[in-house]
C-alpha cells in the first residue's frame, strides 16, 4: 500500500511567494511494521550485505550489566502490542505484567563482558531507486545505516552511527540474516522491522531560519487565521482539515488551528532530505570538516504523528491514527525524540554529523 500525505491545509506559497525560495523536497519514509526482503528498502530489515564482508562491530567498552537482552526487548514489545490492541482501555493483564517484570535489565547475559565487541544494529537500508531525496556518492545506489545499541560514545555520550554506501549490484553472495548484539543499552535504540512507503513531498524552511520580516508576516497571518476560525464555525478553504479533525475523533486536546510550524513547514516522522528542525535548541550551523554547510540526510523521529501534527497523517492511516502504537512503528526514541544525520553535499563520504532535538 502507498502512503499519501493530505493536501496542506493552506497554500502557504500563495500567501507568501518568497517562501518558494525556502522550499525543498524530502521523502517521507512512512515505516510500518512488516517483513521486508534484503532487496527492499526497510527499517531494520535484513540487509543486502556481502557474505565475505565483516559486519561492523563496536569495540568501545560498554557496561553490559545495565543493558537489556535484545530478545527480551522484542518479546516485551510483542506482548504490549498485542495487549493494547486486545484491550485499548487497560492494556496488559496481570499475568502479562508479571511476565514483563521478569525481563530484568542486565541479569540474563552473564557470559557477555563489558569489553566484548558488539555487532552494530541494522537500522535502515535505503535504495536510491525508492528514494529520490537520498544524496549519496556518485554511482552508489544503497545506503545502509547501523548504530551501536549503547548511547555512550564521544564526549556527549551519544549514539554511534555508521553509514555504509554501496553499489547493490556488487553484492552477489548475501549474508543470511543480520548479526545482532545479545545485549542492548537502551530499549529505545532497537528499531522494529518495518517496510517503507516512500513518498516525496515539499517542505519549507524551519520558521526560525526565515527572515525576520517573513517570520513576523507569518505570525500575523496565523493570528488572523485563528481570529477568523473563532469568528466562524466553518472556514471554507480549510474544510478538508476540519473534516479530518472530526473524523479523527475530535478530541478536545487536539490542536485545531493551522500553524506554519506544525502544518506547513517540516513533516513529522522518518524522512530523507528536506530541512532540519530546531524546535528544541536554537538553529545552529552544521558545517563539514571541509567547510561546507551540511544537509540533513536522514531524520529519525520517534513519532510519525501526534496531536500537534495530525494534518500530516497519511490518508491511508486516518482510520487507525488513534490506535495505540500506530504512530510509533519503529520503536526508536533518540535525543528528545529526534535525531538528524547530516552529510556533506560536496562529498557525502566526509564524516557525518548528528543533531538531537
Ligand atoms: Zn558502542
Ligand atoms: Zn565536506
Please list all protein residues whose beta carbon sits less than 5 angstroms from ligand 1, which is an ion.
58, 60, 148, 150
Ligand of minimum distance to the alpha carbon of 57: 1
Q: Residue 132 C-alpha to ligand 2 middle, in angstroms?
A: 21
As a whole number of angstroms, the distance between CA 298 and CA 180 comes to 22
- The pLDDT value recorded for residue 107 is 63
Phi, psi at 223, each rounded to 5°: -65, -40
Q: 3-class SS at 155?
A: coil
Q: Residue 129 C-alpha to ligand 2 middle, in angstroms?
A: 24
Ligand of minimum distance to the alpha carbon of 349: 2
Positions of the chain with pLDDT under 50:
234-238, 249-252
Q: Residue 159 C-alpha to ligand 1 middle, in angstroms?
A: 7
Answer yes or no: are the C-beta atoms of 272 and 26 closer than 8 Å. yes
Q: 3-class SS at 244?
A: helix
Closest-CA residue to 124 (of 216, 75, 171, 194): 194
- The pLDDT value recorded for residue 98 is 93
Ligand of minimum distance to the alpha carbon of 351: 2
Phi, psi at 162, each rounded to 5°: -115, 130
- The pLDDT value recorded for residue 246 is 54
Closest-CA residue to 152 (of 182, 122, 124, 184): 184
The three three-digit cell numbers of residue 58, written as one number: 563496536
Answer yes or no: are the C-beta atoms of 164 and 54 closer than 8 Å. no
Q: Residue 18 C-alpha to ligand 2 middle, in angstroms?
A: 29
Question: How far from the centroid of its chain's Cα atoms is residue 190's Cα?
Answer: 13
As a whole number of angstroms, the distance between CA 343 and CA 292 comes to 10
Ligand of minimum distance to the alpha carbon of 287: 2
Q: Residue 149 C-alpha to ligand 1 middle, in angstroms?
A: 7
Q: What is the mean pLDDT of the chain?
A: 91
Ligand of minimum distance to the alpha carbon of 64: 1
DSSP 319: G
Q: Residue 203 C-alpha to ligand 1 middle, in angstroms?
A: 34
Q: Residue 63 C-alpha to ligand 1 middle, in angstroms?
A: 10
- The pLDDT value recorded for residue 189 is 96
Ligand of minimum distance to the alpha carbon of 292: 2
Q: Residue 291 C-alpha to ligand 2 middle, in angstroms?
A: 6
Closest-CA residue to 141 (of 171, 179, 161, 178): 171
Domain boundaries defined on the chain: 1-31+198-357, 36-67+105-196
Q: Residue 59 C-alpha to ligand 1 middle, in angstroms?
A: 7
The three three-digit cell numbers of residue 168, written as one number: 547493490
- The pLDDT value recorded for residue 251 is 44
The helix or strand, by DSSP H or E, that contains position 342, with its residue range, turns out to be: strand 338-343
Answer yes or no: are the C-beta atoms of 147 and 161 closer than 8 Å. yes
Amino acid at each position: 500500500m502507498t502512503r499519501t500525505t493530505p493536501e496542506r491545509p493552506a497554500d502557504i506559497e500563495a500567501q507568501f511567494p518568497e517562501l518558494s525560495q525556502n522550499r525543498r523536497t524530502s521523502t517521507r519514509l512512512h515505516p510500518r511494521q512488516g517483513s521486508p526482503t534484503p532487496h527492499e528498502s526497510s527499517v531494520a530489515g535484513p540487509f543486502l550485505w556481502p557474505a565475505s564482508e565483516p559486519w561492523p562491530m563496536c569495540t568501545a567498552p560498554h557496561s553490559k550489566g545495565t543493558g537489556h537482552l535484545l530478545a527480551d526487548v522484542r518479546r516485551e514489545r510483542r506482548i504490549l502490542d498485542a495487549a493494547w490492541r486486545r484491550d485499548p482501555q487497560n492494556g496488559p493483564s496481570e499475568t502479562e505484567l508479571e511476565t514483563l517484570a521478569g525481563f530484568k535489565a542486565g541479569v540474563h547475559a552473564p557470559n557477555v563482558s563489558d569489553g566484548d565487541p558488539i555487532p552494530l544494529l541494522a537500522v535502515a537500508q535505503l535504495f536510491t531507486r525508492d528514494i529520490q531525496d537520498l544524496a549519496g556518492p556518485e554511482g552508489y545506489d544503497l545506503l545502509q545505516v547501523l548504530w551501536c545499541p549503547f548511547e555512550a560514545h564521544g564526549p556527549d555520550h551519544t549514539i554511534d552511527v555508521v553509514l555504509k554506501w554501496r553499489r547493490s549490484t556488487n553484492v552477489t553472495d548475501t549474508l543470511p540474516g543480520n548479526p545482532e548484539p545479545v545485549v542492548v543499552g537502551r530499549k529505545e535504540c532497537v528499531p522494529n522491522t518495518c517496510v517503507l512507503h516512500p513518498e516525496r513531498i515539499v517542505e519549507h524552511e524551519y520558521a526560525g531560519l526565515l527572515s525576520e520580516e517573513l517570520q513576523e508576516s507569518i505570525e500575523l497571518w496565523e493570528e488572523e487565521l485563528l481570529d477568523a476560525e473563532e469568528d466562524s464555525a466553518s472556514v471554507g478553504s480549510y474544510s478538508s482539515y476540519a473534516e479530518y479533525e472530526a473524523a479523527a475523533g475530535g478530541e478536545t486536546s487536539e490542536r485545531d488551528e493551522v500553524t506554519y510550524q506544525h502544518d506547513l513547514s517540516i513533516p513529522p516522522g522518518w524522512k530523507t532530505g528536506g530541512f532540519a528542525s530546531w524546535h528544541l535548541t536554537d538553529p545552529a550551523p552544521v558545517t563539514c570538516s571541509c567547510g561546507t554547510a551540511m544537509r540533513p540526510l536522514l531524520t529519525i523521529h520517534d513519532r510519525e504523528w501526534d496531536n500537534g501534527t495530525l494534518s500530516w497523517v497519511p490518508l491511508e492511516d486516518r482510520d487507525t491514527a488513534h490506535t495505540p502504537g500506530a504512530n510509533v512503528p519503529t520503536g526508536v526514541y533518540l535525543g528528545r525524540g529526534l535525531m538528524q544525520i547530516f552529510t556533506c553535499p560536496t562529498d557525502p563520504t566526509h564524516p557525518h554529523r548528528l543533531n538531537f532535538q
